[in-house]
């Protein structure tokens, strides 16, 4: 390889790298514009507290035994309100019951990997 070729290559590479980085940045910005167009109210803190809080609270269900027992006592004679279509959501007057919780049963079946 001649020395001329050698000195050209690093410069070209830097230019190309710059170009592809700009292209990448533009692609990502384009995606961001798309997202903001779909969800105009998207949080001020990107990837911040909201998403972290959601992550920390994974697995939270809303059965509250205190509420349940108080409600049972109060409504001795009346029928308990039945859970709405979305059983995982607790809203207003809905008193969650143990029946609303999905059945937690261990996997008694052997793993198919061992089959």
Partner 1 sequence: MAGAGGGGNDVQWCFSQVKGAIDDDVAEADIISTVEFNHSGELLATGDKGGRVVIFQQELESKNQPQCRGEYNVYSTFQSHEPEFDYLKSLEIEEKINKIRWLPQKNAAQFLLSTNDKTIKLWKISERDKRPEGYNLKEEDGRYRDPTTVTTLRVPVFHPMDLMVEASPRRVFANAHTYHINSISVNSDCETYLSADDLRINLWNLEITDHSFNIVDIKPANMEELTEVITAAEFHPNQCNTFVYSSSKGTIRLCDMRVSALCDQHSKLFEEPEDPSNRSFFSEIISSISDVKFSHSGRYMMTRDYLTVKIWDLNMESRPVETYQVHEYLRSKLCSLYENDCIFDKFECCWNGNDSVVMTGSYNNFFRMFDRGYRQDVTLEASRESSKPRSVLKPRKVCTGGKRKKDEISVDSLDFNKKILHTAWHPQDNIIAVATTNNLYIFQDKL
Task: Provide the b/e sequence for 34-52 (b: ≥16 CB within 10 Å).
Answer: eeeeeeeeeeeeeeeeeee
Under 8 Å between Cβ of 100 and 107: no
**Site stretch for partner 1 (CB under 8 A), options 5-13, 76-84, 107-115:** 107-115
Q: Which DSSP symbol is given to 75?
A: T
How many angstroms separate the CA atoms of 21 and 50, rounded? 30
List binders of partner 1 among 44-83 (CB under 8 A). 46-49, 51-53, 55-56, 58-65
Binder to partner 1 among 27, 75, 82, 89 (CB under 8 A)? 27
Query: Nearest to residue 100, comparing CAs of 71, 75, 64, 57?
Result: 64
| Residue 40 binds partner 1 (CB under 8 A) | no
Structure token pair of residue 64: 């509250």
Determine, following the binding rule CB under 8 A, whether residue 24 of this chain makes contact with partner 1: yes
Write down the least CB distance from residue 77 to partner 1, Å: 27
If the CB atoms of residues 33 and 82 are measured against partner 1, the closer one turns out to be: 33
Give contact residues for partner 1 (rule: CB under 8 A): 21, 24-25, 27-32, 34-36, 38, 42, 46-49, 51-53, 55-56, 58-65, 101, 104-115
């Amino acid at each position: 390889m001649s020395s001329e070729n050698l000195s050209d290559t690093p410069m070209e590479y830097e230019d190309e790298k710059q170009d592809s980085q700009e292209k990448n940045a533009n692609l990502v910005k384009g995606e961001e514009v798309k997202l903001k167009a779909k969800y105009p109210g998207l949080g001020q803190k990107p990837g911040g507290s909201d998403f972290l809080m959601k992550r920390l609270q994974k697995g939270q269900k809303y059965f509250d035994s205190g509420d349940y027992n108080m409600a049972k006592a109060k409504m001795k004679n009346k029928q308990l309100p039945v859970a709405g279509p979305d059983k995982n959501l607790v809203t207003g007057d809905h008193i969650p019951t143990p029946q609303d919780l999905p059945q937690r049963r261990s996997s008694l079946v052997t793993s198919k990997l061992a089959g």
